[in-house]
Amino acid sequence: MKRLLLVLAVVLVGSLGVVTAATAAGRQNQAAPAATPPPSVEAPQQIVAPVAAIDYEPAPGSDTTNPTGTATVTVQKGVFDRVTLTGPKGKAVKGAFNADRTSWTTSDRLAYGTSYTWAGSAKGVDGKSVPLEGSFSTLTPAKTVRGTLNIGDGKTVGVAAPVRVQFNGHVADRAAAEHALSVTTSVPVQGSWGWLPDEGGGSRVDWRPKEYWPSGTTVTVKAKLFGVAYGQGAYGAADVTSTFQIGRSQIVKADVNSHRMIVIRDGQQVADYPASYGLGTDPNRNTRSGIHVVSEKFTDKRMVSQQYGYDTVEKWAVRISNNGEFVHANPASAAAQGSENVTHGCVNLSIDNAKAYYDTALYGDPVEVTGTPVQLSAKDGDIWDWTLSWDKWQALSAL
């Protein structure tokens, strides 16, 4: 029994020694962990300030720029020191910087077929200067077409006066041209543009109110035609504008069967003249029924007809259509005035009555002829705008 206890004691002592040794070894390992290599140190990167970058509009080398647009130069990562854009003979184009001097835009209008060159410089955030350089050209039209207005600044016209833009060449793209036209009025007025057959060497378009103009209206017409592409290589030559007045309302009532010509001014009858109209038995001599418009007047007008064999000068002639119809004095028909229609289509009055009417007539005054079987129409020429219904007139617009 003593031997057995001795053996067990030896075994326990040996085991404890092993455990103690292992524990000591573990503590030694925790106290001295394996060394970690130090992290590598990279060399610091050098920060480079960006260089100023310049953009041009139009692009350098462009030769199709429409001169109605602006030319602009912008800079990124910098500001402009100086900018110039020059045309022929070094003439500078006016322009201006934005608030922070990062862009410059032209304020002058450019011209057709012209080369423009950039100069100046911008400074980048790196402090270095970058030059402006390069050039561009505007387009060169195959043809320029000029538009003119029929009513000038400051004029006073009658209540039936149409606004006309007459072009000295054909306008193929009527919609493009019409987009460039505007009419503004001091009081609301409904109206529309209508394209008429080409006459006078080119295209023409009229603006007509739905009803007669209100008297006293101020009218401003703007035709911003420069740079407008009319098609077939043609472009608008120049802008045109006009501001004018609509005068008093004076309407002539001309019933051929009454043998009278009545003048209504601002709603009140102011004259009732004996008259003679075109011979009713000859359709070629009938005074045309419809709304005529006074277009011009002459103190003395030579009137010639090979068909009817006359060549005479008449006094106080007021043209009311381009087919030869006038309101004028004619002593030769004095006996028929007020009782019979014997003329070749004109409205004949006495010398005194013709002079009185002549003195009051304005371009654009309506002369409303009624009572004949032949209607005023496009073939009578010039101002036939009022022969069409409002719906038919609107249909002549290109828009």
Catalytic residue numbers, as ranges: 328, 346
Q: Specify the long-range contacts of residues 7-10, CB closer than 8 Å, at least 24 apart.
A: none
Edge-to-edge strands, sheet with 103-106: 53-57, 72-76, 103-106, 95-97
DSSP 17: H
The tokens describing 98, both together, are: 């934005």
Q: Measure the CA–CA gap between 222 and 166, rounded to whole angstroms.
A: 14
Q: Measure the CA–CA gap between 136 and 158, rounded to whole angstroms.
A: 49
Q: Measure the CA–CA gap between 354 and 374, rounded to whole angstroms.
A: 25
SS3 359: helix
Asked if the bond preceding 58 is cis, omega within 30° of 0, the reply is yes
Q: Is 308 exposed, middle or buried (0-12, 13-18, 19+ CB in 10 A)?
A: exposed
Strands 250-255 and 366-370: parallel
User: How far is C-alpha 37 from the geometric centre of its chain's CA atoms?
Assistant: 79
Nearest CA to 50 out of 73, 72, 76 is that of 76
Q: Specify the long-range contacts of residues 82-89, CB closer than 8 Å, at least 24 apart.
A: 82/120, 82/121, 83/118, 83/119, 83/120, 83/132, 84/118, 84/119, 84/120, 85/116, 85/117, 85/118, 85/119, 86/116, 86/117, 86/119, 87/111, 87/114, 87/115, 87/116, 88/114, 88/115
Edge-to-edge strands, sheet with 163-167: 147-149, 163-167, 202-209, 191-199
Are 344 and 305 in contact by the 8 Å Cβ rule? The answer is yes
